[in-house]
Structure 1
Amino acid sequence: MPAAEKIKGPASYFPSIEKTYGQPIDHWMAILKVAGPLKHMELVTLLKSAHQIGHGHANALVAWFLAQPR
């Protein structure tokens, strides 16, 4: 039986984000969607200031959000 493939990129942070902040990733994606058309670092700053998310976690969430088709 092959070992599970290791998750890479922004999604590799998701288990830690959910554990640390107690919300599913969909919750954070909804917040980013409502935030409007902001630039990457503006969205990171929003998560950090309004939701006390650490920089690395905020950056991973925003990178994932912006990579999704709209």
Structure 2
Amino acid sequence: MTAAAKGPASYFPSIEKTYGRPVAEWKELIRASPLTRHTELVSWLKAEHGLGHGHANALVAHTRAEDATRS
């Protein structure tokens, strides 16, 4: 049996189902954005792409954490 996703990743199945795009695509959009602050990115995803706050926050948090470990 596989362990359930925790933290921001626990939102990923719902994000893909609700918005019809894979998480990898959302991460590409976040990384391509000229915005750099967490709250700016969350607001942008909500305003421009119609994401709910929790989903936008989860995507930004996970993407930024992933990028921090790559640096």
Shorter-chain TM-score above 0.5: yes
Q: Distance in 2 between matches of 1:6 and 1:29?
A: 21
| Structure possessing the higher radius of gyration over alpha carbons | 1
Match of 1:66 in 2: 64
* TM score, norm. by length of structure 1: 0.90
In structure 2, list runs of 5 or more residues that go unmatched: none
**Cα-to-partner distance string for 1:42-66 (whole Å, 9 max, x where unaligned):** 0000100000000000000000010
Shift of 1:38: 1.2
Match of 1:7 in 2: 5
What is the number of residues matched between the two proteins? Answer: 68
2:16 to 2, 18, 21: 18
Shift of 1:13: 0.2
Match of 1:28 in 2: 26
Q: Distance in 1 between matches of 2:23 and 2:50?
A: 15
In structure 1, list runs of 5 or more residues that go unmatched: none
**Cα-to-partner distance string for 1:7-49 (whole Å, 9 max, x where unaligned):** 1000000000000000000110011011035100000001000
The aligned amino acid for 1:48 is K
Higher helix fraction (1 or 2): 2
SS at match of 1:53: coil
What do you get for the CA RMSD once the two structures are aligned?
A: 1.1
* TM score, norm. by length of structure 2: 0.89
